[in-house]
A and B are shown apart, each in its own frame.
Chain A
Amino acid sequence: MEQRVYLDHAATTPMVPAAREAWLQQSAEFGNPSSLHASGRRQRQAVEEARELIAGLLGTRPSAVVFTSGGTESDNLAVKGLFWRARATSGADRVVTSSIEHHAVLDPILWLEADQGAQVTWLPVDSVGRIDEDVLAATLADPSGVAVCSVMWANNEVGTVQPVHRIAEACRAAGVPFHTDAVQALGHVPMDLGELRADAVTLSSHKVGGPFGVGALVLDPGLALTPVLHGGGQEREVRSGTLDAPSIVGFAAAVEHAVKGQEQRAFHLVTLRERLIGGVVASVPDVIVNGDLGTAPDERLPGNVHLSFPGCEGDLLLMLLDAAAIDCSTGSACTAGIPEPSHVLMAMGRSEEQARSSLRFSLSESTTEADVDAVVSALPGAVERARRAGGARAQVS
């Protein structure tokens, strides 16, 4: 296979060796973790050790870790589950969220609004994509009827890190359950869930070098919510479905790798990120760097580079870089391949045209200077060509 420069680690990242090893080893074992016999017990023990490992690494209790099929399920469980529960017990029908959530939070909330009568407050963001805390405070000044507040830890497109500790504190003070999607943050920013004290936190395995199809919702054990999946009640009666022991074990190994190497990884990524941004800014004069330009862990994800190229269509740029053996993203994936203007960039005040002219590069610990330099040398030509193609499109008729 040809040698490719893979800079789409926010979409998914290769499995780390420790995770693959744990995953493969467990896959040779046999048994249903819920079974009472010896075969089941062996699997159960592996699952529980994984649960304890993850809880310990993230500063929370094992009983808080609910294994799910991944980030999307965890987000759905938190948002819908907390909404349904609050509505059933107190008639609460309000939801507070940011205008830049991942689709796994955004879509359930839009569905709750359209189909379930939820009243939604969309927190605006500033030009770098950080929520307006004054609006949050004003919203929480009257917390009556708020079923859930959901604000992501770090944005998947532009990498902006939200002030989740202050948001969690504000929600706690107002007595409002707080959920945060931490899928992009895990392994990239310091994460102590005991200190954060959010009610629900979404984690995904494959974004941190674990296997696909597994994740967790770290859920305050004292908090009741309505399940999305009803069945055997394997996970605290909150989530049903046979537990996938090999994936869970692999997930835990990946979390261990992600958390223990976080600080060193962030340093490496920030260095490479600044090299990439500096190189592109020098060679493509009118490029726009989106998001927070800060290098601190509470400002921007260390491995995120998000750029707009005025006059270019992002999908054409992606196509040209793809042909040049560089994998990147226009930001939001769509199964039919039509990039939509990003709701994140629109919320940050960008025009639809600018939103469509964007590319996201997401780096990992395996990224090298040579990878970054390959992008810096390929981009000017690609941008020029994409601009011409865009012009060709506009000039007809």
Chain B
Amino acid sequence: MRVLAAMSGGVDSSVAAARLVDAGHEVVGVHLALAAKSSGGASTAGPASARASRGCCTLDDARDARRVADRLGIPFYVWDMSERFRRDVVDDFLDEHRLGRTPNPCIRCNERIKFAAVLDRAIAMDFDAVATGHYAQVVAGPHGPELHRGVDPAKDQSYVLGVLQRSQLERVLLPIGGDDKATIRAEAQRRAFAVAQKPDSHDICFIPDGDTASFVLARLGGAPGTIVEAGTGATLGTHRGVATYTIGQRRGLDLRTPAPDGAPRYVVAKDVATATVTVGPAELLDVDLLEAGAVTWTGLPLDAPVDLQVQVRAHGEAVAARIDASGARLRVELATPVRGVACGQSVVVYDGTRVVGSGTIEATSRVARA
């Protein structure tokens, strides 16, 4: 097969590419340049535009990926996807926050960049498949390829691939999902890749310091408002902007008066229209009914209500649930309540290790009272 290996410059995608070469595929490495380019050039006239984007050339990750490709003896190119990434992932991330929702940009990137823009391009360029270093597995099933969890529970990334549809899955190779991280690192070491000891990437790649609140606040601007107590409606404090809070957040609330019973308080609701953040005890975070839109099917679509499992965050646990997909939306009745679910998060439906489909959570509620 002619395979385009997306090479981030990290351990996982490096080993993924190496395994494809070993398997005898014709592999071409492509590094996706996603980060916004630095702007420079003080010139007011003349060819200053030539200066505007040289920041791209100093990215260590691109160089790391190139060195691995060199060692593997495969062609290597950089595809500049920064414009698309800004529009489809970063701007989308900010738009969602503006609406008071909690998006997962990694899912958006997989949905719109890696397994859409890049995959479509690769196919047009006569590649048979795109490979990545995700910890998940594509397994042949009775109805075509199936997406399954990676075998390493600590690294499993099937959740962020939950938006993949069958037509995409047919063109996707995930060569490392059958191993755990330690095995992959050891293999990188054995292959003498310079990236073998590179630390794992964490969090959101375009917010390298991990301070999402400041990132959002700097770009959306703050709309100050009040923090109120659930139930009583009493004003407990002020805030700089609703968008900087996450459902389930406990730290950084800076409340003046403690709860009467001394119990910790969490963000339990956000209202963008009135710039109000509602806080309350942990129990108020428990929900057992989810409604999700933007439904995608990785496996066969579900037509009748069925008992399966769902996961609502990248590193969360799977929870038993009854899934009803008879309408346009997914209705998910959780067998046990889940704490801290925000609109904008994805719910991924599993049947054991197999990914069935996904949806974007649009409403949450508590039906059964403990």
Contact = CB atoms under 8 A, between A and B. Distances in A.
Contact of B77 (A122, A315, A346, A393): A315
B327 to A, nearest CB: 25
A391 interface: yes
Interface stretch (B41-49, B148-156, B356-364): B41-49
Contacts of B49: 341, 343, 346
B125 A389 contact: yes
B78 interface: yes
Contacts of A18: none
A113 B43 contact: yes
B250 interface: no
A316 B54 CA distance: 20
Contacts of A338: 33, 53, 56-57, 78, 80
Nearest to A340: B53
Contacts of B43: 110, 113-114, 120
B112 interface: yes
Interface stretch (A74-82, A133-141, A319-327): A319-327
A215 B284 CA distance: 74
B27 to A, nearest CB: 12
Contact of B76 (A107, A337, A341): A337
Contacts of B240: none
Contacts of B191: none
B13 to A, nearest CB: 16
B117 A334 contact: no
Interface string B31-72: 101000000011101111111011011110011001000000
Contacts of A341: 49
A319 B122 CA distance: 11
Interface in A73-125: 99-100, 103, 106-107, 110, 113-114, 120, 122
B48 A389 contact: no
B51 A385 contact: no
A386 B50 CA distance: 25
Contact of A340 (B50, B75, B125): B50
A323 to B, nearest CB: 7
A230 interface: no
A394 to B, nearest CB: 9
A220 to B, nearest CB: 27
B286 interface: no
B124 A110 contact: no
Given A336-B33, A337-B77, A397 B125 contact: no
Contacts of B48: 110
Interface string A42-56: 000000000000000
Contact of A343 (B28, B47, B117): B47
Given A122-B47, A320-B125, A392 B120 contact: yes
Nearest to A342: B50
Given A110-B51, A338-B78, A385 B116 contact: no
A336 B78 contact: yes
A337 B53 CA distance: 12
Given A106-B47, A110-B41, A397-B88, A389 B57 contact: no
A319 B77 contact: yes
B46 A99 contact: yes
B121 interface: yes
Contacts of B63: 336
A393 B117 contact: yes
Contacts of B318: none
Contacts of A392: 117, 120-121, 123-124
B110 to A, nearest CB: 13
A396 B45 contact: no
B78 A99 contact: no
Interface in B105-122: 112, 116-117, 120-121
Nearest to A124: B46
Contacts of A3: none
Given A336-B78, A338-B78, A99 B47 contact: yes
Nearest to A122: B46
B45 A336 contact: no
Nearest to B51: A110
Contacts of B51: 107, 110
Given A316-B125, A397-B88, A334 B50 contact: no
A335 interface: yes
Contacts of B46: 99, 110, 120, 122
Which of A114, A340, A342, A343 is the most central at the interface, judged by chain B CB atoms within 10 Å of its CB? A340
Interface string A355-397: 0000000000000000000000000000001101101110111
A78 to B, nearest CB: 18
B271 interface: no
A336 B88 CA distance: 23
Nearest to B127: A389
A347 interface: yes
B117 A346 contact: no
Given A122-B47, A337-B66, A338-B33, A393 B57 contact: no
A389 B121 contact: yes
B126 interface: yes
Given A113-B43, A122-B45, A391 B124 contact: yes
A336 B57 contact: yes
Interface string A287-316: 000000000000000000000000000011
B62 A336 contact: yes
A113 B33 contact: no
A397 B112 contact: yes
Contacts of A319: 28, 75, 77, 125
A336 B53 CA distance: 11
A103 B31 CA distance: 25
Interface string B66-97: 10000000011111100010001000000000
Given A122-B47, A322-B75, A337-B66, A389 B56 contact: no
Contacts of A106: 47, 50
Given A120-B43, A346-B47, A393-B117, 19 more contacts: A99-B47, A319-B28, A319-B75, A320-B125, A336-B33, A336-B58, A336-B59, A336-B62, A336-B78, A337-B77, A338-B57, A340-B50, A342-B50, A343-B47, A347-B47, A391-B124, A392-B120, A396-B117, A397-B116
10 contacts: A106-B47, A113-B42, A122-B47, A334-B56, A336-B33, A336-B57, A336-B78, A386-B125, A391-B124, A392-B120
Interface of B: 28, 31, 33, 41-43, 45-51, 53-54, 56-59, 62-63, 66, 75-80, 84, 88, 112, 116-117, 120-121, 123-126
Nearest 7 CB-CB pairings of A with B: A122-B46, A343-B50, A389-B124, A392-B120, A343-B47, A114-B42, A337-B78
